[in-house]
Structure 1
Amino acid sequence: MRFIEDKNVSFEHARTSEELGRYLVAARDLAPGDLVLTERPLVFGPKGMQNLDAMPCVGCYKQVSTDVGERCSRCGWPVCSGNCAGLTDPRHHGVECHILSSRPECILDNMGDYYRHDALLPLRCLLLQTVDQEKWKKLSNMQSHMECRMPGSEAYDEANEFIVEYLMDFINKADKDIRNKYLPRVSPELIHEMCGIIDTNALEIRVPEGTELLALYTNTCIMEHSCIPNTKHTFTLSAKDKNDMYRITVKVVVPVEKGNHITTMYSHALWGTQARRQHLKDTKYFACRCPRCSDPTELGTYLSALKCLGEGNQVCDGIHLPEEPLDDETDWKCNKCSMKVNNSQVNMIISQMGEEVENVQMMGGSVTSLENLLCRLSTFLHPNHYHLYSIKHSLIQLYGRQPNYMSEEILDKKIKMCKDLIIITKTLDPGNARLSLYNAVLQHELHSALLLKAKKTKSNGSPKTLEEIKPLIMESKLALENALNSLKDDIEEKSGKQLFKVIVNSKKDFEKYCKEKKIRI
């Protein structure tokens, strides 16, 4: 692919509207696979530390042990090696070290508070003033939504406690000449603005070393959100030119006609409408009104729908849907009877159920515990509800793989469950923009169940005939191909690479089986 630095490929210059702010539109008809844009990050840095036993090296982001790892000789921050190339690279640790060196003491207690990696990206943003003034100008033009982050707001108070006061302590302790050289303009207010820019615009990158980074991009940040996005973005995680590390590439995944908006997604595709919209309000400061959010059925998937339990002694087999899905306080009305439930009751029930699902899965999620929870929640939720989707997605990875769950009845159950979830997944994400790994797992598990069913003997102990096997094998082959195709843009990312390897091995086993059985497909 030909990289074009800071030039648009298939979109017009950003347009602006009062409702959407800046957004991109297609300059021509776009087909799946067409390149929208590619650009290097303005700045990047590690997210907050997730693992207390290891920290990312500030030079290359490899995970290093917190108790025995090496430290930067100047500032004392954990590093993979004193020879790490990133320690002198101005895009990584090279410049920030001058500021962080104002507190060179090394500690082993409360390291997560002492070495706040989530403060590094705001600091690197500030340092662009002297590191790269052109980038600083572009960064300063990004939205910060400070009008929503006033003193007393949760976002302001959190940033102030964990980032602003922390960085100002370093900056105030730094030598005056160092401070004037690298941070000619700095104040608590400016750090708050950087935090707002990061929260509003940053994209998450999972690097092979196991660390999560955040990065800011000039053009990508203009892309409009939609809960049914028409693009997918990937990151360069290995490159001959070190300046191309973390380059973003945005491609079209479903056809986009000339003049239509080019969209991405800033929330989770498998959350219900109210959860998605609340997340976007809390983190991106806007209320989504996309076609999916506007549809009570969520494109016919019923991902948020509840079962109607009837009124009094009257039994009802209807379902509850929000009357006005774009109204946060809307009532939920049954589609068959007059029964209504107010929004606060729905939120309380769904929240409690979500905690139950999370607790079971965090405990390892045995088949028995998952099936019991599925049975209980199915009394109240539509079969396609996102809480039940989560439980079923876990179950299909256990059915057919544990000794007590290998019967043909279980395999048939797994096959149906896989097909049901695939329909939901493809409806919500037809271009594999956000749910490619989910879809790949579902297709791979469908392949596995179909192949196991083909191998099983009949009830009388005799093997299945070729005529009985072949339809299962054909369908199994198609599922395998769909699984691999779903991952075509995710192979460089760690989890995508691992899953791709598993599916490739399944393909080899499948081809070996077909050869042994002399099955031509």
Structure 2
Amino acid sequence: MEYLKREIPVCEVCQQPANQTCGGCKQVYYCSRAHQKLGWREGHRLKCCAFKIQISDTLGRHMIATRDIKQGEMILKEKPAVLGPKICSPALCLTCGKRLEPLSDTCDFYKCTKCQWPMCGPQCEKSDVHKPECNAMCNRKYRCRIKYESPDKVESAYCVISPMRVLLMKESDPLQYDNIMNLESHLDERINTPLYLVLKANLVTFINQVLGLPFDEETILKVASIFDTNSFDVRSPDGTKKLRGIYLTSSMMDHSCLPNTKHVFVGDEYHLAVIATVPIAKGELITATYTQSLWGTLERRKHLKTNKWFDCTCARCQDPTEFGTYLGNIYCSLCNFLGNENVSRPMLVSTNPLEENAPWKCEKCDHSILSRQMVSGNNVLNQELSKLDKRGPKDFEEFIGKYSQILHPRNHLVVQAKLALVQIYGNYKGYTLSELSDNLLKRKIDICYELLEIADQLEPGWGKFRGTLLLDLQAAMTMQTKRNYESGKLTKEGTQDQLMQSMGLLQEATNILKVEPNMKETLEMKIQELNGLLDGDGDVNSNIV
């Protein structure tokens, strides 16, 4: 809603002079709390937000800030229009999404007593979420045949559930059905892909012949394509539930490989909360990322083209150095062979990052390679990285050393290995902070600082990546400080300074992560622990030793 600019603000309800603004949109004035409540009831709640949706030929539908938005501010909180399993999934409950384990007495899952789909138990079986699909299947005497075979078995039968839920809305909730069907699908581009040829045979057959629902093939496949284009990956904080959901308003955010928001899922109904990671000025695009920040440009653009069906042309994708991080680059093999190792070694960079087949050329010499060589090399090393033993640091340290003449310290493959080391050092059995040697403790701290530099450039502001790194860094620094104090390497004053530095890191981590589900208690506990090492005046507590 557009509001007229006035020299003297007036109340939206009574048009009298006013000095109280709406705390949400900051665009409407009220003369009193009573009129603010009245205005909210009379319709402002439907218009109050910090953004508006616009349409352009280049961006399509996108979200624009209607006022300055502060860092850390929640821009939007939205309930899913529809939630369901991914196309292929391990056995999970159709109601709550929990991954299922077989019952000990039957060696099989609990089954819905009507349609026989695996469920958590009677309570989930009777939920409103499951009733429409259960009735549709039972009316046609369909019974699911999924049985427990192995813990890692993935079932393709789940491909029918999410599209079916949308199609059934045409009768139960026609307005929501229309809202979903108005989203972009890119079906024309997907229709002849291998996946959609399979969906033609399986999904369309299930909807038409098994359930007898009156939808044509194009409509059924369009729903599947709308999911692939617009859905968010939804995970519970403990990782036991992995679903996908469509959020009508949030799906309007434009993509950027350098986004200015993050999102978290809140509560049992998986409300999606969009939060500003940096200050966003009035008139700026509000952006999210639909890929992984720590992938190189080749991998990000391929993922976006394959899954979201568009070519990203953001500033990061256009920069062959990815803002100077060289995340997707490798050393020039010719310069590396001829040059001095003590001199900064030049990189191979794409001659046109927006063209996947463009050759890669050395920044210094004339050496170049074909794009397919880069893709092939990345694929081989990615496969090797995925097979490393994740129970300890040995394989990851060896991987970094093995390819140090090819992959520079900020290459995305090395970064993934280092991120694994940060998680192992200080957290895994045998490698807890108290068990780490001084050298490994320093190694963890050094890696945290390296990764934080990358986070500042590729995921600036209050992103989750930065928050978790700060949490790991402060814990390691606190342990290092305690050891140095106990061994006499630090004076009481020096110890105080370092503990205060750790507290600063922890407070920043708290600002970033306090919106994450189930993190509040952990953060409060860590602050109490660190406060325990300092007395009320910020001096070192005698109990540190």
Class of the TM-score when normalised by the shorter of the 2 chains: 0.7 to 0.9
**Cα distance in structure 1, aligned partners of 2:173 and 2:386:** 44
Q: Report the counterpart of residue 518 of structure 1 in structure 2.
A: 541
Render the CA deviation track for 1:179-208: whole Å, top value 9, x for unaligned: xxxx4x313332111111110011122135
Shift of 1:519: 7.2
Q: Taking structure 1 as reference, are residues 32 and 476 closer, same or farther at Cα in structure 2, changes over 3 Å only?
A: closer
2:101 maps to 1:65:
yes
Q: Taking structure 1 as reference, are residues 224 and 307 closer, same or farther at Cα in structure 2, changes over 3 Å only?
A: same
Q: Report the counterpart of residue 250 of structure 2 in structure 1.
A: 220
1:99 equivalent among 112, 123, 136: 136
Shift of 1:68: 4.0
Q: Report the counterpart of residue 162 of structure 2 in structure 1.
A: 121
Opposite residue 251 of structure 1, the aligned amino acid is: I
Shift of 1:318: 1.2
**Cα distance in structure 2, aligned partners of 1:57 and 1:309:** 51
**Cα distance in structure 2, aligned partners of 1:147 and 1:301:** 37
Render the CA deviation track for 1:102-158: whole Å, top value 9, x for unaligned: 31365636696878233211000111110111111111211111110223x223124
Q: Report the counterpart of residue 507 of structure 1 in structure 2.
A: 527
Aligned CA RMSD, in angstroms, stands at: 3.1
User: Between Structure 1 and Structure 2, how many residues are aligned?
Assistant: 484
Shift of 1:380: 0.6
**Cα distance in structure 2, aligned partners of 1:211 and 1:125:** 21
* Kept after mapping to 2: 8 A contact 1:309/1:315: no
Q: Taking structure 1 as reference, are residues 207 and 414 closer, same or farther at Cα in structure 2, changes over 3 Å only?
A: closer
Classify the secondary structure of the residue corresponding to 1:64: coil
Opposite residue 223 of structure 2, the aligned amino acid is: M
**Cα distance in structure 1, aligned partners of 2:394 and 2:236:** 35
Classify the secondary structure of the residue corresponding to 1:255: coil
Q: Report the counterpart of residue 140 of structure 1 in structure 2.
A: 181
2:215 maps to 1:171:
no
* Kept after mapping to 2: 8 A contact 1:296/1:321: yes
- Segment of structure 1 superposing worse, 261-270 or 462-471: 462-471
Q: Report the counterpart of residue 193 of structure 1 in structure 2.
A: 222
2:287 maps to 1:251:
no
Classify the secondary structure of the residue corresponding to 2:56: strand
2:257 maps to 1:234:
no
Structure 1's unaligned 5+ residue stretches are 173-182, 239-244
* Kept after mapping to 2: 8 A contact 1:8/1:36: no
Shift of 1:233: 2.5
Q: Report the counterpart of residue 79 of structure 1 in structure 2.
A: 119
**Cα distance in structure 2, aligned partners of 1:467 and 1:312:** 46
**Cα distance in structure 2, aligned partners of 1:108 and 1:329:** 45
Opposite residue 346 of structure 1, the aligned amino acid is: M
Q: Report the counterpart of residue 378 of structure 2 in structure 1.
A: 350
Opposite residue 204 of structure 2, the aligned amino acid is: V
**Cα distance in structure 2, aligned partners of 1:5 and 1:42:** 19
Opposite residue 80 of structure 2, the aligned amino acid is: P
* Kept after mapping to 2: 8 A contact 1:8/1:37: no
- Segment of structure 1 superposing worse, 461-470 or 262-271: 461-470
Classify the secondary structure of the residue corresponding to 2:416: helix
Classify the secondary structure of the residue corresponding to 2:131: coil
Classify the secondary structure of the residue corresponding to 1:420: helix
**Cα distance in structure 2, aligned partners of 1:225 and 1:313:** 40
Opposite residue 331 of structure 1, the aligned amino acid is: P
Q: Taking structure 1 as reference, are residues 480 and 115 closer, same or farther at Cα in structure 2, changes over 3 Å only?
A: same
Q: Taking structure 1 as reference, are residues 96 and 389 closer, same or farther at Cα in structure 2, changes over 3 Å only?
A: same
Q: Report the counterpart of residue 432 of structure 1 in structure 2.
A: 462
**Cα distance in structure 2, aligned partners of 1:122 and 1:400:** 43
Q: Taking structure 1 as reference, are residues 37 and 457 closer, same or farther at Cα in structure 2, changes over 3 Å only?
A: closer
Q: Report the counterpart of residue 355 of structure 2 in structure 1.
A: 327
1:450-465 → structure 2 map (5 Å cutoff): 450-457=477-484, 462=488, 464-465=490-491
- Segment of structure 1 superposing worse, 480-489 or 64-73: 64-73
Q: Report the counterpart of residue 241 of structure 1 in structure 2.
A: none
Q: Report the counterpart of residue 16 of structure 1 in structure 2.
A: 56
Q: Taking structure 1 as reference, are residues 23 and 56 closer, same or farther at Cα in structure 2, changes over 3 Å only?
A: same
Shift of 1:292: 1.0
Q: Report the counterpart of residue 37 of structure 2 in structure 1.
A: none
Shift of 1:228: 1.1
Shift of 1:489: 1.9
Classify the secondary structure of the residue corresponding to 1:329: coil
Q: Percent identity?
A: 28
Opposite residue 354 of structure 2, the aligned amino acid is: L
* TM-score, normalised by the number of residues in structure 1: 0.84
Render the CA deviation track for 1:278-329: whole Å, top value 9, x for unaligned: 1000011110011111111212222112112225963262122212111111
Q: Taking structure 1 as reference, are residues 35 and 502 closer, same or farther at Cα in structure 2, changes over 3 Å only?
A: closer
Q: Report the counterpart of residue 445 of structure 1 in structure 2.
A: 472
1:292-311 → structure 2 map (5 Å cutoff): 292-310=316-334
Opposite residue 278 of structure 1, the aligned amino acid is: K
**Cα distance in structure 2, aligned partners of 1:88 and 1:408:** 54
Shift of 1:73: 2.1
Shift of 1:344: 1.2
Q: Taking structure 1 as reference, are residues 34 and 512 closer, same or farther at Cα in structure 2, changes over 3 Å only?
A: closer
* Kept after mapping to 1: 8 A contact 2:424/2:431: no
Q: Report the counterpart of residue 242 of structure 1 in structure 2.
A: none
Opposite residue 195 of structure 1, the aligned amino acid is: A
Structure 2's unaligned 5+ residue stretches are 1-22, 25-39
Classify the secondary structure of the residue corresponding to 1:301: coil
Does 1 or 2 have the higher relative contact order (CA < 8 Å, sep 6+)?
A: 1
2:61 maps to 1:31:
no
Q: Report the counterpart of residue 80 of structure 2 in structure 1.
A: 41
Q: Report the counterpart of residue 10 of structure 2 in structure 1.
A: none
Q: Report the counterpart of residue 313 of structure 2 in structure 1.
A: 289
Opposite residue 272 of structure 1, the aligned amino acid is: G
Q: Report the counterpart of residue 390 of structure 1 in structure 2.
A: 416
* Kept after mapping to 1: 8 A contact 2:86/2:244: yes
Render the CA deviation track for 1:348-400: whole Å, top value 9, x for unaligned: 1111111111111xx22532221111111221112111111111112233445
Classify the secondary structure of the residue corresponding to 1:383: coil
Opposite residue 374 of structure 1, the aligned amino acid is: I
Opposite residue 439 of structure 1, the aligned amino acid is: R
Shift of 1:517: 4.3
**Cα distance in structure 1, aligned partners of 2:191 and 2:308:** 15
* Kept after mapping to 2: 8 A contact 1:224/1:264: yes
Classify the secondary structure of the residue corresponding to 2:263: strand
**Cα distance in structure 2, aligned partners of 1:384 and 1:208:** 29
Extract structure 1 runs of 4+ deviating beyond 6 A: 1-6, 110-115
